[in-house]
Amino acid sequence: MHPMLNIAIRAARSAGNIIVRSLQHVEHLEITTKGRNDFVSDVDRLAEQEIINTIKKAYPEHAVLAEESGQNGESDTVWVIDPLDGTTNFLHGFPHYCVSIAVVFKGKVEHSVIYDPLRDELFTATRGSGAKLNDRRLRVTKRKELKEGLLATGFPFKYPEHLTPYLATFNAIFPQVADIRRGGSAALDLAYVAAGRVDGYWEIGLQKWDLAAGMLLIEEAGGITSDFVGGNNHYESGNIVAGNIAIQQQMLDSISPHLTDELKR
Ligand code: IPD
Ligand code: CA
Ligand code: CA
């Protein structure tokens, strides 16, 4: 295993421990509002600090881009961190959230960890070496027909201005698929595409820390991620379609015509 992946795993597991330990007193947590429907608790901050400390001990010269503390340092290697993806779930006691950590070298994700501390599921990938869930190799689904597909998505609950275009995409695709899930953690949605638990996923308005780790997991599991015109701007824009290659193309065909140009890339 690559030493950087090893550090990412160590960091994700200790953040996961912080999250799970805090469950006993979740109703007494201090919660701050960052924006509309966008909350942060001490648990997000503590978990993030733990991750950053673990990384900085091993790689003091690397930069960090983390959701709660922003960009720290300048380097070709940036650790992109979401300490708790699925905060709304966490705060409501809905058991579905994770820690997401990616190592990005010159703009390309090289190592990924997504850790679900409740199920003790560790999703990992290193570029060129495949993706794993715990010790098992991951592959995306083989399903070819959108009508048989189970998709995941995210609602634009932080961005009311995206509701109308989002609902247009939902209306277009819903009648064409087996069903759609809204889990509430973008990183787990992506991990589930890689693990073959859903055939595809789309969302608009994400951040780099929601996406980075999951993008490599999917690629290494034989799937594809793109923006809504099949291009590569999704990491920058946060507008993403992911899936196995056949389903992802059908999703693009179905969704793209319903999005404004601004949200397509
Ligand atoms: C959110 C979750 C959610 C997605 C939002 C994200 P957070 O991240 O991933 O599923 O729909 O766009 O912001 O705030 O829980 O880390
Ligand atoms: Ca997130
Ligand atoms: Ca978060």
For residue range 46-83, list pLDDT tens digits in order.
Answer: 999 999 999 999 999 999 999 999 999 999 999 999 99
Distance 40 CA to ligand 1 centre (A): 12
Average pLDDT, integer, range 217-237: 97
Percent of the chain surpassing pLDDT 90: 89
- Residue from 40, 85, 162, 234 to probe ligand 1 pocket by mutation (most atoms less than 8 Å from CB): 85
190 backbone dihedrals φ, ψ, rounded to 5°:
-65, -45
Atom of ligand 1 nearest to the CA of 67: 16
For residue 38, give the ligand nearest its CA: 1
Q: What is the pLDDT of residue 29?
A: 78
Half-sphere exposure of 15 (CA within 13 A, CB side): 35
pLDDT confidence tier of residue 87, bands split at 50, 70 and 90: very high
User: Are 100 and 211 a contacting pair, CB within 8 Å?
Assistant: no
Supply the DSSP symbol for 8.
Answer: H
Tokens of 74: 């300048």
Maximum Cα interatomic distance, the chain, rounded to a whole number of Å: 51
Distance CA 126, CA 112 (A): 6
- With a cut of 90, say whether residue 185 has pLDDT above it: yes
Q: What is the pLDDT of residue 134?
A: 98
pLDDT confidence tier of residue 169, bands split at 50, 70 and 90: very high
SS3 label, residue 43: helix
Average pLDDT, integer, range 103-119: 98
- CB count within 10 Å of CB 61 equals 10
* Torsion of Cα atoms, 217 then 21 then 120 then 32, to 10°: -30
Q: What is the pLDDT of residue 120?
A: 98
Q: What is the pLDDT of residue 32?
A: 81
Q: What are the strands, taking DSSP E only, across the chain? A: 31-35, 38-41, 63-66, 70-72, 77-85, 98-105, 108-116, 121-126, 131-133, 136-137, 150-153, 179-181, 200-203, 224-226, 240-243
pLDDT digits (tens, 9 = 90+) for 127-166: 999 999 999 999 999 999 999 999 999 999 988 999 999 9
User: Going edge to edge, which strands form the sheet with 136-137?
Assistant: 70-72, 63-66, 77-85, 98-105, 108-116, 121-126, 131-133, 136-137
Return the higher-pLDDT residue of 190 and 24.
190
Distance 92 CA to ligand 3 centre (A): 14
User: Are 137 and 144 a contacting pair, CB within 8 Å?
Assistant: no
Domains in the chain with CATH codes? 3-137 (3.30.540.10), 146-264 (3.40.190.80)
Average pLDDT, integer, range 248-257: 97
pLDDT digits (tens, 9 = 90+) for 17-39: 999 999 988 777 778 887 776 77
Comparing 16-25, 182-191, 197-206, 246-255, the range with the smallest average pLDDT is 16-25
CA distances from 258 to 238, 247, 253, 261 (A): 17, 18, 10, 9
